[in-house]
Structure 1
Amino acid sequence: MNTKNPTTTKYSLDLLKKTDSLVKNQFKCGTDFDLFFKKFTNLLMIDGKKTKASKILFTMLLTLKKKLEQDPQKNEKKAIRSMTKWKTLTQNHLENNGMKSSAQNLTSERSKEVGLNFTLLRVISKALENVTPNVEVRKVRVAGSTYSVPAVLQKKKQETLAIKWIINSAKKKQKTSKNNFSMSLAEEFLDASRKLGLARQKRDELHRLAQINRAYIRYRWW
């Protein structure tokens, strides 16, 4: 008859919480993922169908995770260092509480999953970073002539544009392929993380336009 050790269960639950916290803290500086997922769902939503939008996002995350399992870049140095840090924290936490066998078992079970989670979050964060624009171009009319004037974007608008571009690029990609929308969305995130894809092109075109019209910045009135 198997009996569960309440102490082991307590420390296992505590450890899982620390794992999730470590994953979040690792990417805290780059992207606030709670806010990102909420915003992404809202921008993805059509006709108030939030459940459907959430399902698409969840399926996309699962698809992207599967792609990363076979992706050659998943073993990049930073992801490996992050996973090593988690394994060290795990073993120290359990061994300090006299559970060496639990440390070995739990580490082997969770190390692969945690490593993939680190890589998944890193890909999403990198994709957003590569697509997010810093400036926009506004039309200003001066003495009967219209000029394209560069303007610095606020952070909220930067994030909104980046997400919209990724969504619209995925829709275009879906039309030219046999994949479903979640698959196209996952591929667009993967491309964006490598500075490729339509969303990245949109960002580069906007920056190029702002650079060309930098002489008209003197007409900025805001």
Structure 2
Amino acid sequence: MSRGVVAKARERRFYDNKYQSALIAQFINVLMIDGKKRVAEKIVYSCFDRLSEEVSSTPDDIMRDVFTNLLPTIELKPCRVGGVTYQVPIPVQNARGVALALKWLKQSSSKVAKKATVSFSEGLYREIRDALNGRGEAIKIKENAQRMAEANRAFAHFRWFGNKNKNKVKRTNNNLFLR
């Protein structure tokens, strides 16, 4: 039985081998297919080697710049009230925003690779480069999500019906990125 003590989220302690960054390690885990982590690492490291030569900054700084452009502030959650399902805009917590941005980056890079008939590594390179400059498929996905949330702003008062966590989300610069 609970005694009213809320468990705190544990600090992430996994880092990638080359750059010692938790954000890049999480990105590698998202890109990994069928447990082939070495293949995902090879793709990500080759992409960041090319980008760091072109942009002349560290891969960790590149990822942070990409995420400042890709992190969403609002997302839509379906909420059923009175037999009708509404798309309710809710603020995005930091960990969820990072997960969404990683998912969008993976989707858009595979889409770019298929469209241009190049390897996934090349598609990932192009998409990260475009996200650094504020354009590309991942940015379009984010803007579309923001646009849909703005369109459904009238249903924001239904936010607390379907949401179990009734605390307001606080977004500060300190906890914006993983360390």
TM range (shorter): 0.7 to 0.9
Query: Cα deviation per residue 1:89-141 (whole Å; 9 max; x = unaligned)?
Result: xxxxxxxxxxxxxxxxxxxxxxxxxxx234x5443322111111111101111
* Match of residue 55 from structure 1: 42
Please, which runs of 5 or more residues in structure 1 have no aligned partner?
A: 1-32, 69-73, 75-115
Aligned partners of 1:139 and 1:149 also within 8 Å: yes
The structure with the greater share of residues assigned to helix is: 1
Q: Report the Cα distance in structure 1 between the residues aligned to 2:34 and 2:95, rounded to whole angstroms.
A: 23
Q: Is the 8 A contact 1:123 1:190 kept in 2?
A: no
The answer as to 2:36 corresponding to 1:135 is no
- 8 Å CA contact retained: 2:79, 2:86: yes
Secondary structure in 2 aligned to 1:117? coil
Distance 1:203 1:215 in 2: 20
Of 25, 28, 33, the residue aligned with 1:38 is: 25
Check whether the contact 1:136–1:206 (CA below 8 A) recurs between aligned residues: yes
Deviation per residue, 1:142-194 (Å, 9 max, x gap): 11211110011111110011011111111011111242211211111110111
What's 2:100 paired with? 161
2:109 counterpart (161, 167, 170): 170
Question: Number of residue pairs matched?
Answer: 143
- AA in 2 matched with 1:52: V
Q: Normalising to structure 2: TM-score of the pair?
A: 0.74
Query: Secondary structure, in 3 states, of the residue corresponding to 1:148?
Result: strand
Q: Percent identity?
A: 32
* CA–CA separation in structure 2 for the residues paired with 1:65 and 1:155: 26
User: Which amino acid in the other structure matches residue 111 of structure 2?
Assistant: K
What is the distance in 2 between the residues matched to 1:39 and 1:136? 21
Query: What RMSD in Å do the two structures reach over aligned CA positions?
Result: 1.8
Q: Which amino acid aligns with 2:44?
A: L
Moved over 4 A (4+): none
Structure (1 or 2) with the larger CA radius of gyration: 1
Distance 2:117 2:157 in 1: 48
When normalised by structure 1's length, the TM-score is 0.60
Say if 1:64 and 1:187, in contact at 8 Å, map to a contact too: no
Residue aligned with 1:137, SS:
strand
> Higher relative CO (CA 8 A, sep ≥ 6), structure 1 or 2?
2
- Which residue does the alignment assign to 1:181? 120
* Structure 2: unaligned runs, 5 residues or longer: 1-19, 164-179
